[in-house]
């Protein structure tokens, strides 16, 4: 074949297509139906079963709903924390304020962005890093260490104290307008630098900029409380009232969980990454003085081993994955055998996990919580997943992940230090290798 498509090529393509009767059947089906419905593998569908050998005690009956926002990482983190709170206070149902968490994340991301603009003042305006920074300065996404930074600094509050607003649940326009302002501020800071203004002058200007961002957040989300009262009736119908609590107190005194003891593990088999190594992402974070994003790269089998230990001991497992692949949203099923795409198109999709990452076919898009696992003869078969998309899908909002899907599309889990080996803990103490800002392991923050 030459470098362009000829009439002869097209006729050959057409003859090949017409020579296969299955293509006509497939066309007739796909012109009238969704690909997922046509490609559904009945053998896999018929095996769907939402019973598990091990489920975390304290799992909530009612799942949360992030609605039209990208706060999955925060929802998953708060869902992990509410399990600990529910055990301590014997609660039937509870939610932390995802709006409160979101407010401080947006403010801290704005400061982080402006500091990165200051850090890159000598880069050209059209450099790859500056263009990357201004592309999405305060998107809803985030990573585990960013979640820890916010809770450690600002604490948490019940949802009743700072409930959802329209724009916390529908964040698009708020993000767009604050982003527009931040890009304007990036231009102003770079202009000031080009005119010889010193860093102290730039930071003084930055403070005024953040004052405006704070006001914009208040009008969209409300003003975060400094103190609040909390009253609750537990499963035994016992009533308790607590008064004058600060958000920091609510975290440190009411929730039996130490977020700083939890470590992020990834499974990333790309050619440019090694197992048993520590990584970080350049220019990825929110709280300037907080801990940096760090990942230990391990095999998928190691991730499963540590996830099982956590679940068996009653702890949920925060994780990041590529949720849109081999997934049926209504059924809440993540299964590599769920669709017969190879059979449907009569072509084999050959990329493995590493190649999908390296060639842009997959990246982390969503965070959820593992709350159960089904084990037979010492091997995991499937996993129970608490999502944050409401209770109308899956098993009242809980999803099922097959063990094969875990291997192929789960990239990241968070495990408490007490479950990790000495060798893994030693890796976490190393100086991390820096990955580029656009590496797929940082995609969940976008």
Bridge partner residues of 368 (DSSP): 319
Q: Please, are residues 395 and 60 in contact by the beta-carbon 8 Å criterion?
A: no
Structure tokens that stand for 118 in this block: 């200051």
Question: What is each CA distance from 109 to 79, 103, 286, in whole angstroms?
Answer: 22, 10, 5
Residue 320, C-beta contacts closer than 8 angstroms, at least 6 positions apart: 73, 143, 144, 364, 366, 367, 410, 411, 412, 413, 444
CA distance 54 to 69: 31
Q: Where are the alpha helices (DSSP H) in 195-328?
A: 199-221, 247-249, 300-312
Closest CA to 151 of 256, 228, 89, 77: 77
Q: What are phi and psi of 264, to 5 degrees?
A: -90, 125
Closest CA to 420 of 321, 313, 322, 320: 313
Q: Please, are residues 189 and 140 in contact by the beta-carbon 8 Å criterion?
A: no
Q: Name the DSSP class of 348.
A: -
> Parallel, antiparallel, or unpaired for β 317-321 and 366-376?
antiparallel
The C-alpha torsion from 51 through 52 and 56 to 60, rounded to 10°, is: -20
Closest CA to 247 of 263, 230, 259: 230
Closest CA to 425 of 305, 310, 298: 298
Closest CA to 406 of 331, 319, 330: 319
Residue 74 sits at the vertex; the CA angle it makes with 69 and 302, to the nearest 5 degrees, is 120
CA distance 422 to 412: 20
Q: What are phi and psi of 49, to 5 degrees?
A: -150, 120
CA distance 272 to 191: 37
Q: Which residues belong to the active site?
A: 72, 366, 387
Q: What are phi and psi of 359, to 5 degrees?
A: -110, 20
Q: Within 10 A of 360 (CB to CB), how many other CB atoms are there?
A: 8
């Amino acid at each position: 074949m030459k470098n362009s498509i000829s009439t002869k090529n097209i006729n050959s393509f057409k003859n090949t297509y017409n020579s296969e009767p299955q293509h006509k059947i497939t066309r007739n089906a796909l012109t009238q139906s969704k690909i997922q419905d046509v490609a559904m593998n009945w053998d896999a569908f018929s095996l769907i079963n939402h019973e598990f050998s091990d489920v975390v005690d304290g799992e909530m009956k009612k799942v949360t709903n992030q609605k039209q926002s990208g706060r999955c990482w925060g929802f998953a983190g708060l869902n992990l924390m509410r399990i600990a709170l529910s055990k301590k206070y014997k609660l039937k149902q509870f939610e932390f304020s995802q709006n409160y968490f979101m407010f401080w994340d947006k403010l801290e991301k704005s400061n982080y962005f402006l500091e990165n603009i200051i850090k890159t003042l000598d880069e050209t305006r059209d450099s790859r890093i500056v263009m990357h920074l201004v592309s999405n300065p305060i998107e809803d996404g985030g990573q585990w260490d960013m979640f820890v930074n916010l809770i450690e600094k600002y604490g948490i509050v019940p949802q009743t104290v700072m409930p959802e607003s329209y724009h916390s649940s529908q964040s698009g326009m708020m993000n767009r307008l604050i982003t527009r302002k931040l890009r304007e501020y990036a231009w102003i800071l770079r202009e000031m630098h080009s005119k010889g203004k010193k860093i102290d002058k730039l930071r003084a200007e930055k403070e005024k900029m953040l004052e405006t961002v704070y006001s914009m957040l208040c009008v969209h989300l409300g003003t975060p409380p400094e103190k609040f009262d909390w009253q609750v009736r537990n499963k035994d119908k016992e009533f308790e009232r607590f008064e004058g609590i600060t958000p920091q107190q609510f975290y440190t005194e009411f929730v039996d969980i130490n977020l700083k003891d939890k470590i992020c593990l990834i499974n990333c088999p790309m050619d440019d990454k090694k197992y048993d190594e520590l990584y970080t992402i350049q220019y990825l974070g929110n709280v300037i003085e907080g801990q940096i994003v760090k990942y230990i790269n391990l095999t998928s089998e190691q991730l499963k081993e540590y996830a099982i230990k956590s679940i068996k001991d009653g702890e949920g497992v925060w994780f990041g994955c590529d949720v849109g692949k081999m997934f049926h949203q209504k059924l809440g099923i993540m299964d590599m055998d769920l669709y017969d795409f190879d059979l449907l198109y009569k072509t084999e999709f050959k990329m493995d996990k590493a190649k999908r990452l390296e060639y842009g076919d997959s990246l982390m898009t969503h965070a959820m919580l593992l709350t159960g696992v089904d084990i037979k003869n010492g091997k995991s078969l499937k996993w129970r997943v608490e999502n944050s998309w409401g209770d109308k899908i899956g098993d009242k909002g809980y999803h099922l992940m097959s063990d094969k899907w875990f291997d192929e599309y789960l990239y990241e889990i968070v495990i408490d230090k007490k479950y990790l080996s000495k060798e893994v803990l030693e890796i976490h103490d190393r100086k991390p290798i820096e990955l580029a800002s656009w590496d797929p392991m940082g995609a969940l923050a976008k």
